[in-house]
Structure 1
Amino acid sequence: MQAGHKIKIVQIPVPTPTLYPHTTTNCYLVGNENKSLLVDAGYDRKETRDKIEKAIKENNIAQPSAVVLTHSHRDHAPGVRQFRDWAPTVYCHKHEKQDILKAISPITSISCLQDGATLQIADVDLTIIHGPGHTAGHLNVFIPSEQVLLAGDNIVANGTTWIGPPEGNMSDYIQTLNRLKQLPLAKIGPGHGQWVTNPYEQIDFVLNRRLQREDQIKMLLQQYKQLTAAQLTEKIYENTIHPSVFHVATKTIEAHLIKLLTEDLVTKRGIHYAIR
């Protein structure tokens, strides 16, 4: 993708041990032949470097001088180790810094970006958006001139993102989605899957899924009086999800329950939840 031949935005799916049904994590090259940066660095294996170097060569883009890590998860951050010889500036949000330091060790030099910060690549401004929810320090990169949002795991192309406590927060996530909806968007570069060319529909899909799930939890608690998070997950999904993601589905239900507890709509006794 190009805007007046100033920059390209190249999506690079890198094979990672991510969650079913995904088998790749997206990295993004943003720049031109003079300067570029990388958004997310994938998994720490040689294949990551090979894929990104191939994309640099094929698109005639400069070797990235910086890497913006959206968050610390193992399929997004540790691959930065593959590019140590480039000596890039590594950016993240301050709330993510400690987890990212663990993820990319022995690299110890990180610069923090706050909400609203601007990075410039080839005279094009990139706006940093702090979008907590999936993790506390999750970052998004918005490119106003292209109306493109690089969303990390706040948006995935197929289905919805899991939100798991303690790092995930459902209330924050819903606020983030509502904020992203206010941006002028032509398309979204998701953390996993193809470009999202119907950005507002996809954000609304995720918002509605989360609100429907919340209603479902309240209905089940009314019906069964009290349930654990795992029991709720079993009743909600009823063998419709791959066993490998049952754990993260349960974590997402827990995140919903924490939100409902905070809003004083449910109570908790031991591991059981009930409608207030």
Structure 2
Amino acid sequence: MKAAIDAAPYGASERVSPLVRRVLARNPSPFTFLGTGTYIVGNGKVAVIDPGPDEGDHLDAILAATKGETISHIFVTHTHRDHSPLAVRLKAETGARVLGCAPLALEDDGPRTDAAFDTTYAPDAVLAHGAVVPGGAWADGGWTLEAVHTPGHTSNHLCFALHEEKALFTGDHVMGWSTSVVTPPDGDMRDYMNSLKLLQGRDDRIYYPTHGEPVTEPQRLVRGYIAHRRQREGQILRLLDSGPKAIPDLVASMYAAVDPRLHPAAGRSVLAHLIDLETRGVVSAAGDLWEKAA
């Protein structure tokens, strides 16, 4: 991880397609990988997707990458603090409109699986599923972004589809380095699985996640994500065959090969699976113990 961080192009503008550039924020962690990838869409009149954490160096890097251009829109996938807080200062600098997910700020009730919620987020407009925002003619470097509602990681999560390149900015719903964590009470495993199935029905050519590298075989990755979640569900049920168990016991068996520092976060995803199974009548809870339903 350290070698990757040392080689990461923090503050630089990377061209990843004719219409898309990326600027990487210096906020690496076990949950953000190398950091938040802020995307600049278009040429001339541009949009910024997921401006990132409220860090002056990252703001300077975005402004330097768009020098001589106009930032007209700021889009936000969800309101974790590694995605949305810089929208306030970027709007003040540029006058851009802030669009995207609905405001959402919750108190934590367990170990963090990523940054906490951003209480400063105040969009100029909330985008519903299917809402389309035009950004000028393609011949002039313009773009068209469509909101795709993908709850699960958070209830307010959006992806954004770039029509001109059949690309999808996936935020944390699909990441380029790891599976996404689903953390109750706001994160919901059933919603997450349904959102993955929604993406299965699309024909996007490439995904641009906020964390990790572009995904060039998106359908294959989504199929793998769905299979991974079904495998985890099966593990839980097999472990409960031998009797009631607490979440830490399930995590110790299911994530034995994973860095123990990540076990509290893994426990949140296990809880999300258990809540889903309970809703379906497959398991039940008695205090801190979970067991198969009679």
Q: 1:99: Cα distance to partner?
A: 2.3
Q: Report what 2:214 is aligned to.
A: 195
Backbone CA RMSD of aligned residues:
1.8
Cα gap change, 1:42/1:98 in structure 2, threshold over 3 Å: closer, same or farther?
A: same
User: What do the CA deviations read for 1:74-113 (whole angstroms, capped 9, x no partner)?
Assistant: 110112233122222112333xx1429x7253x6453111
- 1:212 paired with 2:199, answer no
Answer whether contact 2:100 2:147 (CA < 8 A) is retained: no
Report which of the two has the higher share of helix.
1
Q: Report what 1:10 is aligned to.
A: 21
Aligned partner letter, 2:56: K
1:178-193 matches, within 5 Å, as 178-193=197-212
Q: 1:10: Cα distance to partner?
A: 1.3
- 1:93 paired with 2:101, answer yes
SS at match of 1:64: strand
Paired with 1:130 and 1:221, the residues of 2 have a C-alpha distance of: 34
Q: 1:265 aligns with which of 274, 279, 282?
A: 282
Paired with 1:76 and 1:243, the residues of 2 have a C-alpha distance of: 26
1:215-226 matches, within 5 Å, as 215-223=234-242, 225-226=243-244
What is the aligned residue count? 261
Cα gap change, 1:99/1:178 in structure 2, threshold over 3 Å: closer, same or farther?
A: same
Q: 1:17: Cα distance to partner?
A: 4.9
Q: 1:28: Cα distance to partner?
A: 0.9
Answer whether contact 2:99 2:123 (CA < 8 A) is retained: no
Q: Report what 1:39 is aligned to.
A: 49
Q: 1:231: Cα distance to partner?
A: 1.4
Q: TM-score w.r.t. structure 2 length?
A: 0.84
Cα gap change, 1:260/1:67 in structure 2, threshold over 3 Å: closer, same or farther?
A: same
Q: TM-score w.r.t. structure 1 length?
A: 0.89
Q: Report what 1:5 is aligned to.
A: none
Paired with 2:31 and 2:123, the residues of 1 have a C-alpha distance of: 33
Answer whether contact 1:154 1:191 (CA < 8 A) is retained: no
Q: Which runs of 5+ in 2 are unaligned?
A: 1-16, 107-116, 138-142
Q: 1:251 aligns with which of 247, 268, 278?
A: 268
SS at match of 1:219: helix
Structure 1 outlier segments of 4+, above 6 Å: none
Aligned partner letter, 2:248: A
Paired with 2:248 and 2:166, the residues of 1 have a C-alpha distance of: 40
- 1:74 paired with 2:112, answer no
Paired with 2:171 and 2:31, the residues of 1 have a C-alpha distance of: 17
Q: Report what 1:237 is aligned to.
A: 255
Q: Report what 1:110 is aligned to.
A: 124
- 1:162 paired with 2:172, answer no
